[in-house]
């Protein structure tokens, strides 16, 4: 695990632990790396409920309720699917927040219009989700490390911008 991801996970841990709010993940291309970073922090069981590794469209549809038509029309590697994965994880795992990742890490898997290195990450609540598209290809291992790190950074920023300590009181 990347050192920076571990540092960010500690900051996320502190915010969620203090707030009493919960987190889940829905990961396709990252295969559980985001969840691994989150649970690397002692005490994470108080706020992290679990994750869904949804490497296939079937699992995205069945466990996260991602619309079949959306997957057919736009493929799994798009912003709308990343958003649907966040919503699905929140509902399926009954959490306040979720983080998702879907993309093509490489070395194969590229299609017309979706080159290797294209990864969408998303995070938020059921009603407030932010996304980021990664587009550079540095090779599979680095692509996955970058996606994990960016997802965690984005979630930490989301928490900082949307949830102050007193917000959790109400």
Helix-, strand-, coil-residue percentages of the chain, each rounded to 5: 50, 20, 30
Domain count, the chain: 1
What pLDDT does 110 receive?
A: 79
Q: Which residues fall within 8 angstroms of residue 149, CB to CB, at 6 or more apart?
A: 2, 4, 5, 8
Q: How confident is the model at residue 167 (pLDDT cuts 50, 70, 90)?
A: very low
* CA–CA gap between residue 76 and residue 97 (Å, rounded): 21
Count of CB atoms within 10 A of residue 73's CB? Answer: 10
76: left (phi over 0), alpha (psi -120 to 50) or beta: alpha
* 63-79: average pLDDT: 96
* 122-140: average pLDDT: 96
**Considering only 1-5, 8-12, 64-68, 98-102, which range has the smallest mean pLDDT?**
1-5
Count of CB atoms within 10 A of residue 59's CB? Answer: 15
CATH, residue 127: 3.90.950.20
What pLDDT does 169 receive?
A: 45
* 11-25: average pLDDT: 94
* 30-44: average pLDDT: 95
Q: What's the 3-state SS for 76-132?
A: CCCHHHHHHHHHHHHHHHCCCEEEEEEECCCCCCCECCECCCCEEEEEECCCCEEEE
Q: Percentage of the chain surpassing pLDDT 70? A: 95
pLDDT at 170 over 70: no
pLDDT at 59 over 70: yes
Paired with 132 in beta bridges are 121
pLDDT at 166 over 70: no
Question: HSE (CB half, 13 Å, CA atoms) of 90?
Answer: 20
CA angle 11, 117, 111 (to 5 degrees): 140
Q: How confident is the model at residue 18 (pLDDT cuts 50, 70, 90)?
A: confident
Paired with 121 in beta bridges are 101, 132
Q: Could you give phi then psi for residue 99, rounded to 5 degrees?
A: -125, 135
Model's pTM, two decimal places? 0.93
* CA–CA gap between residue 136 and residue 107 (Å, rounded): 12
pLDDT at 162 over 70: yes
Residue-range definition of the domain harbouring residue 133: 3-169
Comparing 68 with 17, the larger pLDDT belongs to 68
Comparing 37 with 110, the larger pLDDT belongs to 37
């Amino acid at each position: 695990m990347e050192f920076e991801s571990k540092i960010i996970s500690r900051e996320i841990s502190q915010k969620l632990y203090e707030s009493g709010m919960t987190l889940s993940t829905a990961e396709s291309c990252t295969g559980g790396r985001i969840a691994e970073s989150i649970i690397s922090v002692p005490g994470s069981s108080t706020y992290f409920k679990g994750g869904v590794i949804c490497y296939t469209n079937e699992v995205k549809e069945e466990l996260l309720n991602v619309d079949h038509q959306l997957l057919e029309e736009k493929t799994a590697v798009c912003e709308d699917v990343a958003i649907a994965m966040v919503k699905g994880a929140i509902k399926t795992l009954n959490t306040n927040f979720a983080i998702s990742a879907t993309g093509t890490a490489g070395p194969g898997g590229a299609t017309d219009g979706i080159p290797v290195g294209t990864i969408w990450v998303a995070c938020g609540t059921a009603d407030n989700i932010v996304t980021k598209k990664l587009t550079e290809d540095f090779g599979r291992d680095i692509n996955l490390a970058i996606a994990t790190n960016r997802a965690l950074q984005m979630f930490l920023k989301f928490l900082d911008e949307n949830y102050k300590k007193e917000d959790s009181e109400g």
